[in-house]
Structure 1
Amino acid sequence: MLVSKNPFTGVINAQFDDLADIEIQRRLEKAQMAFENWKNTDFEYRNNLLSKLSEKLIENKSSLANIITDEIGQPIKASLSEIEKCAKTALYYEGKIEDFLRPDSVKTESNESMVVYEPLGVILGIVPWNFPFWMAFRFIIPTISAGNVVVIKHASNVPISAIKIEELMLEAGFPEGVVQTLLIGSNKVEQVIKNQIIKAISFSGSAEAGSIVASAAAREIKKSVLELGGSDPFIVFPDANLDTCSASLVEGRMRNSGQACNSPKRVFVHKQIEKAFVQLVAEKLSNIKMGDPKDPNTEVGPIATEKGLEILERQVSESISMGAKLIVGGKRANLQGLFFEPTILTNVQPNMPVFDQEIFGPVIAITTFEDIEQLITLSNQSEYGLGASIWTKDIEVAKLLIPKIEAGNVFINQLVRSDPRLPYGGIKKSGYGRELGSYGIKEFTNVKTIVVNYSK
């Protein structure tokens, strides 16, 4: 049973039975049939459909944003922005597909040598709940643009979003079977991966679940792309603009109530500015509005699930018991819904849960450093490697630090964000492969080498 439950009101929005095995097979066969036609469509046809998809997203922006907010409690203003980002991504790929997939000519001893990019077939996308439309569309758009078709296994707590995504694709004019939703629980994922129709798998979610999916894919010798968790370092040097930096930290960490993989989860502040910086962060945090996610002024909504809230409570309380200093927050908020107070912890050290584990909640964990070598050691002392954000006026120092930071993305004086124009992904237990940009569209293609010698 897939249940959509509003984390603010506690009301069940809807519930659905898992698809029966026979229906799963029917949808996979439908996808395969759709692929046989879709792979031969021309770039102009695909471009026109991407344009229509963007239009449909914007036309339905309000209703789609309300679905997100009802299912996961994301503040409505952020949900609207999420839909806008999906629309922008469709427009970004429109008109660029042919260039991105253009064959590469290579000079060799033969008359012709080239590399072409051909679609693989039916790709399974396993999508998380925390940005239910964006996380789906950033996989869907480049993957189908390359000529593949997709089936989506969305998170079990956002079935309404999952259904609406398929409906949107049909409304935009995409042929039936190019994008389909599989309403199934995690217990049926392996059988789908094993199905011969599935040619590759994209997974976004936790490292633990990603390992299970990647193992299942490997047993079938099928390619997988993993976008997993993160525990991104947010590095503040003494010369940084502390007012701007602290504002960005609060914005980034409170986004979606801290439930974002690329949120700045471990904050490293130079010891000489710690007191001033913590004070600025506390002041800005005190002005954050937490409450009804449908209120356009709300900045922090509820945690999406009771289980997530319980994990967050344990991580914070254990860290405090190990020596972390609580500045503000640290407990459930006295509000209707699954709220956790925006929290600041200082004196955070390795081996504490808020340092070692991914924290999905509005918690700012601050650690001090005294020199570059200590900073590098602390920043890389994580099993994750998704992104890093460096704040300093000395750009040369920041650039020298970039190759020493173990991460797939490094942003200087800016929060880490996914951008359709740039490849996005991580290393270590944050995953492998890349989404978005010209790199993402090629992830699920057969990179085929062609060599031609003219007959004599």
Structure 2
Amino acid sequence: MPIATVNPANGETLKTYEAMDEEELERRLRLAEATFRTYRTTAFADRARLLNRAADLLDEDGAEIARVMTTEMGKPVRQARAEAAKCAKAMRWYAEHAPELLADERPAESDVKDSGASHALVRYRPLGPVLAVMPWNFPLWQVVRFAAPALMAGNVGLLKHASNVPQTALYLEDLFHRAGFTEGCFQTLLIGSGAVDEILRDERIRAATLTGSEPAGRAVAATAGQMVKKTVLELGGSDPFVVMPSADVDRAAEVAVTARVQNNGQSCIAAKRFIVHSDVYDRFAERFTEGMKALKVGDPLEEETEVGPLASERGRADLEELVDDARRSGATVLCGGERPDGPGWYYPPTVLAGIDREMRIHREEAFGPVATLYRAADLDEAVLIANDSPFGLSSNVWTREAAEVDRFVRDLEAGGVYVNGMTASHPAFPFGGVKRSGYGRELSGHGIREFCNITTVWHGA
């Protein structure tokens, strides 16, 4: 895949970039290693000052970088501005909270005495240069939620971003440099995916994090396993959105539309499978389908647009294949389902009903504005359908019954359970999944500690 900005609204190639050669990659790896030796010793206050400055600059650049993101991958420009603001918020959150999240831990005095020590502690120390392999769908947020905690922990980062968002990738490197971080603290590597394996094998890279597809995650995990390096993987998701009879059905249907089509439906944590109790199924299906039909599809740079184009022609073709397979296998198309005429990689908001386990869309992630509806006879069947997926990123549950909430929290196989609301990431809460959605956590204290050397310090009596 070429490293290029291709506007998905019209297919026009706007900018192309040459991949870095081996000499430049070597220079950057040497620089990362050398920078880490000194940056790791800086004080939290100094790191926080730099990160807060980066947040201020990002706020100033918000409108400009939003247009860049929209032009590169097609998200509605209002959502792009919100993404930039969210990144600045996360930077400030980590600048404020990192010292407490990474503070020395003191074991219980009785345990210290029992170990034969006069005193002991647990200290969090940085690991070193971390390789981040990031996707195009949230081209700022996916990177910042790694970079902010990594930099505050004293690590340095090397970014291999998706090849269709090179301008955003270069902007991030420039942003941290303008904020005052030395050049080696955060570097963008303009390389193709084929170069990742060799870089990950380099001894100077101490760990890696990847957000992306399951095949990409498997490849990085395999190499990291051979090299005995720590990895965090956030892969696909096919999140359930369960609606029970006690729920506010109209409100659930309204939120369901946003939960499905956020970022043009290209979000791992977007609700994709809507599992509705039989008692309220017809009402929910009607309201939800009406909401999907009413969405404004168009130029993502226009303020009123709610759904823009998919990020790539291949992505649209993959989505079409899933819908066509479901239709051929007996699914009912309640709205959408047909590629529109004209330029750009648009696909209409689509609702499919009558899904069965043999359809590909039941097992695979639909990365675009396509929703699947399931009818559940009771809570047991709702849990069964929700867990009948190779993925387990997050989940959404709508009910006013406390006992039902307890049951869903206990039994849903997911990294998050959001009750009477839609899944959304926040710097204070851990984010990640189970099963084929990956392992490890981003954000919160759990995320900042993923790339730390957890060191026991023991002093004899």
Structure 1 residues without counterparts, runs of 5 or longer = none
Specify the alignment match of 2:249 in structure 1: 242
Q: Which residue of 2 aligns with 1:270?
A: 277
**Is 1:184 aligned to 2:154, yes or no?**
no
Report how far residue 395 of structure 1 moved. Answer: 3.1
* 1:4-153 equivalences in 2 (<5 Å): 4-107=5-108, 108=112, 109=114, 110-153=117-160
Cα distance in 2 for residues equivalent to 1:243 and 1:170? 48
1:277-310 CA-partner distances (Å, limit 9, x unpaired): 1110122122210000000110000010000000
What is the Cα deviation at residue 273 of structure 1? 1.5
1:297 lines up with 2:304 in the alignment: yes
What is the CA–CA distance in structure 1 between the aligned matches of 2:190 and 2:237, rounded to whole Å? 27
Matched, 1:3 2:8: no
Asked if structure 2 preserves the Cα contact closer than 8 Å seen for 1:129 and 1:157, the reply is: yes
The match for 1:214 among 221, 237, 246 is: 221
The answer on whether the counterparts of 2:293 and 2:335 sit within 8 Å (CA) in structure 1 is no
Alignment of 1:414 with 2:421, yes or no, is: yes
1:360 matches 2:367: yes
User: Which residue does 1:375 correspond to in 2?
Assistant: 382
Q: Which amino acid aligns with 2:35?
A: A
Residues 205 and 229, structure 1, Cα contact 8 Å, conserved in 2? yes
How far is 1:396 from its partner? 3.1
Matches within 5 A, 1:292-331: 292-331=299-338
Shift, 1:443, TM fit: 0.4
Deviations 1:368-422 (A, max 9, x none): 1101221211111111010000001213311222110000011000101111011
SS at match of 1:338: coil
Give the secondary-structure state (helix, strand or coil) at the position aligned to 2:441: coil
- Give the Cα separation in 2 of the matches to 1:95 and 1:379: 38
Q: Secondary structure at the match of 2:274?
A: strand
Is the 8 Å Cα contact of residues 291 and 335 (structure 1) preserved in structure 2?
Answer: no
Q: Structure 2 residue aligned with 1:385, among 364, 370, 392? A: 392
Quick one: distance in 1 between partners of 2:410 and 2:343? 46
Match of 2:348, SS? Answer: coil
**Structure 2 unmatched ranges of 5 or more:** none
Give the Cα separation in 1 of the matches to 2:187 and 2:325: 42
Instruction: Output the TM-score relative to the length of structure 1.
Output: 0.98
Which position in structure 2 is the counterpart of 1:349? 356
Once the 2 structures are TM-superposed, how far is the Cα of residue 333 of structure 1 from its aligned partner?
Answer: 2.0
Distance 1:257 1:38 in 2: 39
Cα distance in 1 for residues equivalent to 2:177 and 2:86: 20
Q: Paired residues, what number?
A: 454
What TM-score, normalized to structure 2?
0.97
- Which amino acid in 2 is paired with 1:69? T
CA distance in 1 between counterparts of 2:382 and 2:286 reads 22
Counterpart check, 1:432 vs 2:439: yes
**RMSD value, Cα:** 0.9
Separation of aligned partners in 1, 2:16 and 2:410: 48
Question: Contact between 1:13 and 1:70, CA under 8 Å: does it hold in 2?
Answer: no
Give the counterpart letter for 2:65 in structure 1.
L
